[in-house]
Structure 1
């Protein structure tokens, strides 16, 4: 069922959404479960989102993580995209890369007392019915704000030939086979060892170009739809010369795009070979290649500058979800949000999930700030496109701080009811087993006893109050769940439950409760 049939637009003239699951007065059959991917990025680089600063003890790090997850659950989000590899380092114990300095202030040093942050995040997210997607930066080796020396097992010391200095950063060279192998090995290590729901990579392939002689970079210019002049070229001459000497015939730009394409294709194949249910997502820069852009769209070309041939990835189906960073306002000249979204809809010929990234952290920014209504309206615009079934906020800090009331507005309007993550049928569409449910009237609600198979990720729960169906989502780990009486509409006179697996497939529904 299209989102437009379930949600009203989130605008100032429509501050609330009609109840998501309304089957009509007296209906005995609940409507389809609402579906929408609602996520936020949690950045660890530079301590943007978590932890709030380096060298917090384990207890404080965990408390901050729980606060983020509780806030996400309270807002009716259903996923967190956690940065686990900010700069060829790790926020989890790894034999391949050192501990991140953003945890402890010193690269290579484990949190104290020792614990596994990624495992903690996954366990706590799943306990709240939230998905946890592990976010990797593919090729950044050292951030310009790094404050501690590289650890002995960091790639800049173990394989310096694969690392290039460019501006104030160090970058792994995508033309070096050993650098590609490093990234693949790191991602697959996490896929094998951790119960993640998705692998997510961002927009850093070849670096954003910098201008000579300074290092202001095209990154900020790109957000304004501009390109720099007098750019320094990335110093990958040795790897390119080896390619040419080996008989390669592509020009340097085509060779660079081929290098990135190979990584994307390999990630897609290898992730699914390890675990078929783990979804692979990419969040590239939001403007397409110049020769295909719609009329009126202009600005930075990731195709020519980052060597990201995003349209090819989509058209080959090398990903499961696509999160273009649409970091411009609805009425931005040259980069209008709706026009960009429509462009990516047309490029998504394989029907992969389209969940655009929103620049929510621009609310309250020192310059070029958004009002909360910009984000609310962008969600509304997205919901009018049936091919776009979700969105991701950058970043969680804006929602944690409730900047200018954005969290309150979302909870009261766009997110007034929970939603399931959209199903991913191309990875599997087997219907899960029917759950076992027992129900009894207890206190001010109906107490459910739940049990389902091992493939269960969540339970979908409908309850009818005063002839209107309400919807809830319970994590698979829950054995007990209470359907509370509605303050205005009274107690439930019917409760229906289904099991939902990790790919979003829903079981047959069970009539759990019916008032005599």
Structure 2
């Protein structure tokens, strides 16, 4: 055999050997017995350490809620400024004096007349500066300042709301000085008529009147940090303003007839006022939903409503169907001017109960009280206090009153003391649940023990939305509450008060609609 045959034979033999190995069955595996293990015992329970940041469950006391406001009239210099020739500083000093007076009596709102008669107590591109501010229509205060901005800032500093009060139709008051080229009487002559008592009035049914008043209100809402827009009882004027004669609106009435209108003249007038009220409400909400809309109409809808009531008819004389506005909810609060005593042909409690029965949308009902000139009573302060208490009894959980005017408090010590005693504790404004608002964040509260006293500080991530704070302090078993202005963010508290040890503090924030946040709290 040669070498090549020998190599071939070895290769064949190797292939046969490999093939036989791959076809053999694998050896049988022997199953292994499982390893027996001991089951572990459950871990012993561990008692968690107390979490210093964990919220304490507290039963905090309810904070009193009641709307307490006063009207600040600027027309004819009734309340402010006291004269139309004061310096800027004198005007500011008078404003601060009024606000401090109201704050001292636990009021929580002012209703400031920013537009007395188609003029402005603020910087406006739509209407001239008021004669009642500087003694000349169109003349700005010098040194310059914006009075409305000042009133808003100072009211908010004191934790008080600022409602802008305006009259949509009065164009010139008899005490408003000479008419100049700046006056709207010159700029809108086709929409304005002169009444027999010397006043000038915009025609409420003229479309241009409605458009102009709408622009003024939207401008106020857009540019100023106000809490509400407030309209008073002047729609079509009272009959005596025109010597008992009918309102001279022949031009707009004839235009209505030419266009095929078929309403009676009275219904046409009411329809125009109704349209304007609904429009203003909707436009305010479209601009800033949280700005409230309030109306203070004449207190009697019609004589005989309720039975036994006598007097003028807002429905027939002013062409104001205020009952409809309340029924429809075209407002956030309603302040009928119930400027009469408790008994008599215009009974305060009877009228308030009737208006409450018409409040089908459950809006705020804050009656207007005649604090300055209530007739037919021997003790005016006692009568006003009784009306405050009657309002609380009739309206219960959403009560409040508005006082006309602040002079009734500032110029009558007995009245001021009586009302202050009636408002002896602080109060938040009632909640307004139909206005949706973003919930406030829980504030952050910190406490430092100084030995004989405790320093507390607080803040909130959403501070821009905070209007006030509520501080709760517990000494022994007794809770005390305090409503604080937004700018107050610290307090120093004694560890012992009247023999009782301080043991708990808590804090909430409150928004401009009276909504409360959750609370933060600390145990000591």
TM range (shorter): 0.7 to 0.9
- In the other structure, the counterpart of 2:388 is 379
Q: Identify the match of residue 189 of structure 2 among 147, 160, 164.
A: 160
Q: TM-score, normalised by structure 2?
A: 0.84
- Listed one character per residue, the Cα deviations across residues 111-153 of structure 1 (whole Å, up to 9, x for unaligned) are 1100001111111111111110000111111111222x23423
CA deviation after TM superposition for structure 1 residue 439, in Å:
3.1
Q: Match of 2:141, SS?
A: coil
**Partner in structure 2 of residue 334 of structure 1:** 345
Q: Normalising to structure 1: TM-score of the pair? A: 0.85
**Alignment partner, residue 299 of structure 1:** 311
Matched, 1:495 2:496: no
Equivalent in the alignment of 1:33: 63
Indicate the residue corresponding to 1:189 in structure 2: 219
Residues 266-281 of structure 1 correspond to what in structure 2 (within 5 A)? 266-281=279-294
- Residue 425 of structure 1 corresponds to 433
CA shift at 1:503, angstroms? Answer: 1.7
Alpha-carbon shift at residue 468 of structure 1 (Å): 2.9
* Alignment equivalent of 1:93, drawn from 120, 123, 126: 123
Superposition map of 1:115-514 within 5 A = 115-147=145-177, 149-168=178-197, 169-210=199-240, 215=243, 231-290=244-303, 293-331=305-343, 333-362=344-373, 371-385=380-394, 386=396, 388-401=398-411, 403-411=412-420, 413-440=421-448, 446-452=454-460, 453=462, 454-482=464-492, 492-511=502-521, 513-514=522-523
Distance 2:335 2:350 in 1: 15
Moved more, 477-486 or 266-275: 477-486
1:12-23 alignment to 2 at 5 Å?
none
Change (3 A) 1:415 1:486: farther
Secondary structure at the aligned position of 1:384 is classed as helix
Cα distance change, pair 473–210 in 1 and its aligned pair in 2 (3 A): same
Aligned length: 464
- Mapped to 2, the partners of 1:183 and 1:414 lie a distance apart of 38
User: Would the aligned equivalents of 1:345 and 1:388 in 2 still touch at CA under 8 Å?
Assistant: no
Give 1:417 deviation, angstroms.
1.1
In 2, the alpha carbon distance for the partners of 1:368 and 1:181 equals 44
Q: For residue 108 of structure 1, report the CA deviation from its aligned partner.
A: 0.8
Secondary structure of the 2:372 match is: helix
Larger Rg belongs to: 2
The partner residue of 2:99 within 63, 69, 75 is 69
Alpha-carbon contact 1:33-1:419 (below 8 Å) kept: yes
Q: 1:95 to 1:487 in 2, by over 3 A?
A: same
How far the C-alpha of 1:458 sits from its partner, in A, is 1.0
- RMSD (CA atoms): 2.2
Q: 1:383 to 1:56 in 2, by over 3 A?
A: same
SS in structure 2 at match of 1:40: strand
Q: Are residues 1:42 and 2:110 paired?
A: no
Corresponding residue for residue 7 of structure 1: none
Unaligned runs of 5+ in 2: 1-56
Q: Which runs of 5+ in 1 are unaligned?
A: 1-26, 216-230
Q: Give 1:445 deviation, angstroms.
A: 6.3
- 1:490 Cα shift? 5.8
Aligned residue for 2:351, secondary structure, equals: helix
Rate the CA distance shift 1:108–1:369 in 2: closer, same or farther, 3 A: farther
Classify 1:435/1:176 alpha carbon distance in 2 versus 1 (closer, same or farther; 3 Å). same
Pairwise CA distance, 1:489: 6.9
Deviation at 1:495, TM superposition (A): 2.3
Alignment CA distance shift 1:129-1:485 (3 Å) = farther
CA separation of 1:493 and 1:71: change in aligned 2, threshold 3 A: farther
Which residue is 1:22 aligned to? none
Compared with structure 1, are the counterparts of its residues 306 and 72 closer, same or farther at alpha carbon in structure 2 (3 Å cutoff)?
same
Q: Return closer, same or farther for 1:314/1:468 CA change in 2, 3 Å cut-off.
A: same
- Kept after mapping to 1: 8 A contact 2:65/2:398: no
